[in-house]
Amino acid sequence: MSKIERVEVFVASPGRTFVTLRITTTDGVTGLGDATLNGRELAVASYLRDHVAPLLTGRDPARIEDMWQYLYKGAYWRRGPVTMTAIAAVDTALWDIKGKVASLPVYELLGGRSRDGVLVYSHASGTDVPSLLDDVERYLELGYKAVRAQAAVPDVGGTYGVRKGKVYEPAATELPEEQPWDTEAYLGFAPAYLEAVRERFGFGFHLLHDVHHRLSPIEAARFGKSVEGCRLFWMEDPTPAENQEAFRLIRQHTTTPIAVGEVMNSIWDVQHLITEQLVDYVRTTVVHAGGITHLRRIFDLAALYQVRTGSHGATDLSPVSMAAAVHLDLTVPNFGIQEYMGHPDETAEVFRTGVTFADGMLHPSEEPGLGVEYDEKAAERFPYQRRYLPIARRLDGSVHDW
């Protein structure tokens, strides 16, 4: 019987920082998992190297559910982003191994296709309304059927959501960049530029917008009400989700769909939001919510309450996570949409992935497993670089929600 023989953790920064787990069995089969936690990467790398890897050697790689329970319950200290990201890396790597042993792509092991492809959206942005409109047009010409729109608020100075290079990546500085934020200015400006997008391009595509937790519940309700004419696919993270009852207030005032969950790590974190139907889309991810095994459990719960999936897919998810997400998205009955931002050219030098984009959708590799390879030698050319997400400050100097 095959056993786990070797567990390796790689940290590299090809365009951005990724933590990658590679598990090798006694039969020579390898599996990859993503263990990236944006801005706290080394904490997960240490968790894997120092605490998890010694537990895996000699264990049966086929017992995926048992391994998940072993790592989750055996640690005593449960949940949290570091623990769940580490478990996710192991879980994803084991699914990759199982697919290779079975000579099947992972989506076949999950029950096969429920759809032909995975609808995705990407990020259009601008420093003002004209540049935003030009960027939306660019994505539509690339074939996207769904676009997220963000523009810098005039005269405030913050650039949240605005791409500075080819790929939007907010974690870009050695120490956290502190950006100003003005809620009233945002509430006056954002509806205007979303209306401008609809006025120029019409309603033949899905339009999304990310609030990024920056409004109080009643402010979020006001925003949602003001953009109902734009028919948003969703407003994302309208208010911090620690107080889940807050979403009930938003629901009372607007029919704009709500998406939440990228910072949540387990089914228990989103249970109330789902079962009370306080959100329309759950945005938990393969990498931060315990891997394929646990994310599928979240999606199954969501399906019972007509909540659809909309997993986070920013550049802090490596091509390993993106491949795993696409395999799962392809199979679940309540799929909604998948965020897809692409990666810098340097990332493609380290990761080879069979995921392809066509006609506004992603398509998984048909290779056994996840269809992703990691080039360890290429990764050595991109040593670790510490990068932090920015911090928002109100005009009075106090720290605001990200």
Helices marked H in 161-290 — which ranges?
183-201, 217-226, 246-253, 267-275
What's phi and psi for 345, nearest 5 deg? -60, -35
Q: How far apart are CA 308 and CA 68, in angstroms?
A: 24
212 part of the active site: yes
Contact 28, 5 (CB under 8 A): no
Which residues are 356's β-sheet partners?
363
272 part of the active site: no
What length does the chain have? Answer: 402
3-state SS class at 392: strand
225, 253, 186: which is closest to 401 by C-alpha?
Answer: 186
48, 85, 41, 53: which is closest to 321 by C-alpha?
Answer: 85
> Torsion angle, CA of 112/142/317/233, rounded to 10 degrees?
-80
Catalytic residue among 212, 288, 312, 327: 212
Catalytic residue among 47, 72, 139, 160: 160
3-state SS class at 165: coil
Query: Which amino acids are annotated catalytic?
Result: 160, 212
